[in-house]
Structure 1
């Protein structure tokens, strides 16, 4: 009798009768993860097929037994996921920022400081206000008491002088900390 009850037809009837309710129950246990709930549903039905004695139980419905098996399988699956390290997908790795070489940036900062020290006090004052303190041309003009045009020309000439002493930096960039590719022709002039 157990062989007919656990046959394909009996399992199909069991899934049709209890599958939707069991799926919604497992969906709640998996916090809405449909794929995991479907996997647990299939695993629960496999357990029913492997245990034909459950069909001969004294109760009227298989539903309590199925829900108990499904709940235990969900608990076991959660415990096994928590026991191993979290999986990291390629998308997470690609979006993670690449570590920066702090020694390289420290050397560049020292190079810039040394180069700025070689400028005249007037040129240095303009660059300090604009690039190191983040002031606009108008704010720098008011702070130093000079016309805005003078601020622009001093910053232009100061950056040109720096580009000669720092061949890896561009005088056209908006920041002194942006290196550019130095080609052989630019460094030989």
Structure 2
């Protein structure tokens, strides 16, 4: 049993050459058209183009090449997009076994917010009044370093320093640890 290689033109049958020609002539314009219909969804557009060309291969006489297939291809592609759209609208939304968990996690109730504010309030008590003040003005009110500097009457460098130490102390109190990247030791020459 021998296999015909599609890449060799001499060994390919007339049907194979016609199919290759169909793809080369119509796939790119068809994909552009379908992409517009689908709002840029490349995955679905490729599926529609593939199905359109497959239907053409099954239903048309490609070898003869007497007729212009482009209008027929575009109409089939459009109908496939419409059918897919109708099918998606008619079918109920699919859910898996974890959908309830996502719904529960998506519901932010006031309990989480209250607990977070209690924990943060306790952590704030560990800060000095100067650190608390800079942290509040920067993060809570959203002021810039310059604005906090002018408001509190201290230099911008002091605002930055207090902010750095306040955040560092909060992390320590809250038990937030950062992974420390170890630097390689370079041997002396």
| The structure with more helix, counted as a fraction of residues | 1
TM > 0.5: no
TM-score range, shorter chain: 0.3 to 0.5
User: Normalization by structure 2: what TM-score?
Assistant: 0.42
TM-score normalised to the size of structure 1?
Answer: 0.42
Q: Which has the larger radius of gyration?
A: 1
